[in-house]
Chains A and B, each alone.
Chain A
Amino acid sequence: MKLALKIWRQDGPTDDGGMVRYDIDGVSEDSSFLEMLDLLNEQLIHSGEEPVAFDSDCREGICGACGVVINGEAHGPERTTTCQLHMRSFNDGDEIVIEPWRADAFPVIKDLCVDRSSFDRIIQAGGYVSVNTGSAPDANAVPVPKEHADRAFMAAECIGCGACVAACPNAAAMLFTGAKVTHLGELPQGQPERSARVLNMLDQHDAEGFGGCTNLGECTRACPKGIPLNVISQLNADYRRAGYGGSFDD
């Protein structure tokens, strides 16, 4: 395949950056999108130009490290991670525009790499169960109804890639935050800290500069793991109850 790539190049966080066009030939339709970028980088190195920086690690769709905006869509035209997007999804001769995640809370480090440590700080604000090692009761001591366990699992599938933020016109991270609130809120272990968790995580979410949710649903459409929009409803419901001093015991 022959392609025209327009890629965001930015030397560092304070550099202005801009789009640069590269023509590339000999792309196998069996290669992944990132392998196509590997090929481009090999060509750039040979011509003495610095390769394009981008994040990736497991390349199996699970670590959440990769992610770029492709032709205006987070992770590109299919609902998957960038590493699992394959070039057969494109046509010979296509022009492809590649940009980093776009959000104030994800500052660009270089080229297509952004800093997503704001997600870690949201987790630090309460996205855990406070249990010290070695003090846990027997795992079967507290049964969890299967539908709760399954819903917790569904929410826990979030890989923290940031596509939800990149896709949101308001750059909200409510799908990410809602997924964690729902995951732990569905389980008995998560109850004692449920109020504090949602209040603190949302405070941190706002402090990081993420926008508010406007229920457009772009986040869930872009989510490679299919986290549903209803985790945001759960987030809002928990927030309201916690804000009013409500209890989750019932």
Chain B
Amino acid sequence: MTDTVTRSNDTELVDGIYLEGDPISDSHAPGGDIAEMWTNRKFEGALVNPANRRKLSIIIVGTGLAGASAGATLGEAGYHVKSFCYQDSPRRAHSIAAQGGINAAKNYKGDGDSIHRLFYDTVKGGDYRSRETNVYRLAEVSVDIIDQCVAQGVPFARDYGGLLDNRSFGGVQVSRTFYARGQTGQQLLIGAYQALERQIAAGTVEMYSRHEMLELVVVDGKARGIIARDLVTGKIETHMADAVVLASGGYGNVFFLSTNAMGSNVTANWRAHRKGAYFANPCYTQIHPTCIPQSGDHQSKLTLMSESLRNDGRIWVPKKAEDCDKDPRELAEEDRDYYLERIYPSFGNLVPRDIASRQAKNMCDEGRGVGPAVDGVRRGVYLDFAAAIERMGEDAVRSKYGNLFDMYERITGENPYQVPMRIYPAVHYTMGGLWVDYDLQSTIPGLFVTGEANFSDHGANRLGASALMQGLADGYFVLPNTIRDYLAAGPFEAVAEDAPEVVAAQEAVQSRVDQFLSIDGTRSVDSYHKALGKIMWEKCGMERSDEGLREAIEEIRALRTDFWSNVKVLGTAEGLNQSLEKAGRVADFLELGELMCVDALHRRESCGGHFRAESQTEDGEALRHDDEFAYVAAWEWGGDDGAPVLHKEDLVYDFIELKQRSYK
């Protein structure tokens, strides 16, 4: 895609905040029946003969499921791969923390599963805001992922016959989730990491750990390299290649408190966005209802507990605000409000993630939250197992949920067998990301984006056990086939390291680093990050309104201005400087946060993880507007002083009928 925006000087800002550019007319999906598309695409794509592959080089940023699997696969194929991660080892990428499982349409249980059913469930789970063609392909290759991982030695759960076990997940009616206890992400990542290490040993992959990409190099309109900082020596390095792949994960840390790893950031994506890559659907954030609540201002992150707890726990808050600091065990049944059971009698405590999350926030906003007050508000609701313990016995509860109860006790210091657990929603996964076409190529030729870093497969929401699937699908199977078609046009003319575009990118990085160190203000980077997080959570979190989002945009702009004049970064550019690293990431979050609010403001509908207060049914449920908003919002960077430019890609459903959700 090389759409350019026609901007005339007299174009008026829409809503006073953004411009509207040309629509995206083509996602480059092949035509024909959806079941044939991927096969056709692979056949039509040009090949690169093995002798030529070693002359072609690819940079991959990020070593999670999407990045490590792509690095391993492209290395095996014979390309020269340079792999980058900010962690000390590729094995630490945040995919490692994913717990639940990975979906695949294997139909090992013979319960009626199929590629088409996984495709259907995933499109529906994304609230009809994902691209049909990509999701079908995801379902199609899901089958191969399991084979690949098992062959690598990933120890999935097995039954006594020695065959793989499955479970059901996230309200799906078939058992298609493969799992490795509560550590599926860890085991899948270690599998991909080992495959990557094998290629490092073979010399096809060069690994650059403790390196952070700080700029994309675009030459003649094509992505040709990156500028990275060696986080140990502080050296600004230039790395050139024939193509660049971003597999750098999601941006949930814009909220400061999230379930993401501390280092997860948007910088690689944001730098590419500023160089011309469109950023799609940034406002789509999945919020998970069963996290351990914040206990105070000292807290740096939130910990997710399995959603399975809602199968047996009952969720409630006191009916009266004055009861909130009482011992919950002493509160009589008639003084408790089992609000989910009351409002949603048919689904009760098992309503979908977005509904459970929003209602918990409503209870706390009403002043009926429980647990320690943070900023004057108690943000927690009870998840009570007393009834389950009475019904099943403590031993049965322990065997089912023991590890989660232990983890809860370690973090909160409370024994959940005796006192009800407290839970609260937390930011978990971001469905937005850089816009990509069917080939996973961004609007910058030669720049490919995979996994959580792109926007393509999950729409406005994400089903459980589908993010791991997408990361590995992209890395093992999709990208290696599509990038080949691009690389076949090579060899590409070598770019000298003193080419003007390269020098400009180097200088931009250097001056940014120098600027952070020279501001010498009074506030720490973290204090800005926390302030941004509060704005985002309150006004662009579980529920968004026109008024709140407009306020948020103003507040973020003011915070950003203050940041650039008053941030305090100590130390030097040489050597390890973690404050400097954080400063760059937070600076980019401060820009992304505004775009998220702009995107949320323009989307005057509720869908999936995006609940717009003005768009709800009489019963307070999310109301989608397919006639107006069945499109991907892909934003073009409008310049430092300009407004973002919206390009719409219409979502066309040829193989699935659009329906409204109902959980009553």
A contact residues vs B (CB 8 Å cutoff)? 11-12, 27-32, 34-36, 38-39, 42, 45-46, 48-51, 53, 55-60, 62-65, 80, 84, 86, 88, 109-110, 113, 115-117, 119-120, 123-125, 127-140, 143-146, 149, 152-153, 156-157, 159-160, 183-184, 187, 189-190
Interface residue from B76, B183, B194, B299 paired with A31 (Cβ < 8 Å): B299
A-B contact pairs, 12 of them (CB 8 A): A31-B299, A58-B92, A59-B303, A63-B261, A120-B197, A128-B195, A129-B194, A137-B147, A138-B147, A140-B108, A153-B187, A187-B155
A149 near B158: Cβ-Cβ < 8 Å = yes
Across the interface, which residues of B come within 8 angstroms of A12, CB to CB? 575-576
Q: How far is the CB of A58 from chain B (nearest CB, A)?
A: 4
CA distance A183 to B194 in the complex (A): 12
Closest Cβ neighbor of A44 among chain B residues: B570
In B119-173, the 8 Å CB interface with A consists of 144, 146-153, 155-164
Q: Which of A29, A55, A119 is packed against the most chain B CB atoms within 10 Å?
A: A55
Across the interface, which residues of A come within 8 angstroms of B69, CB to CB? 133
Q: How far is the CB of B654 from chain A (nearest CB, A)?
A: 29
B571 at the A/B interface (Cβ < 8 Å)?
yes
A189 near B150: Cβ-Cβ < 8 Å = yes
A49-B570, A60-B97 known; A131 vs B148 contact (CB < 8 Å): yes
Interface SS of chain A: loop
B contact residues vs A (CB 8 Å cutoff)? 69, 72-73, 76, 87-94, 96-97, 106, 108, 144, 146-153, 155-164, 180-181, 183, 186-187, 190, 193-195, 197-198, 200-201, 207, 209, 232, 259, 261-263, 295-296, 298-301, 303-304, 372, 410-413, 476-477, 480, 524, 526-527, 568, 570-571, 575-576, 578-579
Closest Cβ neighbor of B201 among chain A residues: A124
A86 near B411: Cβ-Cβ < 8 Å = yes
Q: How far is the CB of B620 from chain A (nearest CB, A)?
A: 33
A80-B410, A146-B162, A159-B186 known; A60 vs B303 contact (CB < 8 Å): yes
Across the interface, which residues of B come within 8 angstroms of A153, CB to CB? 155, 157, 180-181, 187
Across the interface, which residues of A come within 8 angstroms of B299, CB to CB? 31, 35
Interface residue from B90, B410, B526 paired with A86 (Cβ < 8 Å): B410
Across the interface, which residues of A come within 8 angstroms of B262, CB to CB? 56-59
Across the interface, which residues of B come within 8 angstroms of A32, CB to CB? 300, 411
Q: How far is the CB of B200 from chain A (nearest CB, A)?
A: 5
CA distance A134 to B157 in the complex (A): 22
A133 near B183: Cβ-Cβ < 8 Å = no
A35-B298, A80-B410, A133-B76 known; A189 vs B579 contact (CB < 8 Å): no
Q: How far is the CB of B313 from chain A (nearest CB, A)?
A: 21
Across the interface, which residues of B come within 8 angstroms of A135, CB to CB? 151
CA distance A24 to B148 in the complex (A): 51
A35-B299, A84-B410, A136-B148 known; A63 vs B97 contact (CB < 8 Å): yes
Across the interface, which residues of A come within 8 angstroms of B88, CB to CB? 55, 65, 113, 115-117
B300 near A38: Cβ-Cβ < 8 Å = yes
Across the interface, which residues of A come within 8 angstroms of B201, CB to CB? 124-125
B92 near A57: Cβ-Cβ < 8 Å = yes
Q: Which of B94, B147, B207, B579 is packed against the most chain A CB atoms within 10 Å?
A: B147
B194 near A123: Cβ-Cβ < 8 Å = yes
A28 near B296: Cβ-Cβ < 8 Å = yes
Closest Cβ neighbor of B410 among chain A residues: A84
CA distance A152 to B263 in the complex (A): 30
A30 near B413: Cβ-Cβ < 8 Å = yes
CA distance A147 to B378 in the complex (A): 46
A140 near B163: Cβ-Cβ < 8 Å = yes
Interface residue from A35, A45, A139, A189 paired with B106 (Cβ < 8 Å): A139
Across the interface, which residues of B come within 8 angstroms of A42, CB to CB? 524, 526-527
B578 near A109: Cβ-Cβ < 8 Å = no
Closest Cβ neighbor of B295 among chain A residues: A30
Across the interface, which residues of A come within 8 angstroms of B261, CB to CB? 57-59, 63
Across the interface, which residues of A come within 8 angstroms of B96, CB to CB? 58, 62-63
Q: How far is the CB of A35 from chain B (nearest CB, A)?
A: 5
Q: How far is the CB of B143 from chain A (nearest CB, A)?
A: 9
B200 near A84: Cβ-Cβ < 8 Å = no
A123 near B151: Cβ-Cβ < 8 Å = no
A139 near B413: Cβ-Cβ < 8 Å = no
Across the interface, which residues of B come within 8 angstroms of A45, CB to CB? 524, 568, 570, 579
Across the interface, which residues of B come within 8 angstroms of A65, CB to CB? 87-88, 92
Which 9 pairs across A and B sit closest by C-beta, in order of nearness?
Answer: A143-B162, A136-B151, A128-B194, A139-B150, A136-B147, A124-B201, A153-B155, A57-B261, A30-B295
Across the interface, which residues of B come within 8 angstroms of A115, CB to CB? 88, 232
Interface residue from B73, B410, B524 paired with A133 (Cβ < 8 Å): B73
Given contact pairs A120-B91, A139-B147, A149-B158, enumerate 17 new A-B contacts (beta carbons under 8 Å).
A30-B372, A31-B295, A45-B579, A53-B578, A57-B92, A59-B261, A60-B97, A62-B186, A86-B410, A120-B197, A123-B193, A124-B200, A130-B198, A131-B152, A133-B195, A143-B162, A146-B158
Interface residue from B159, B197, B411 paired with A146 (Cβ < 8 Å): B159
Q: How far is the CB of A131 from chain B (nearest CB, A)?
A: 4
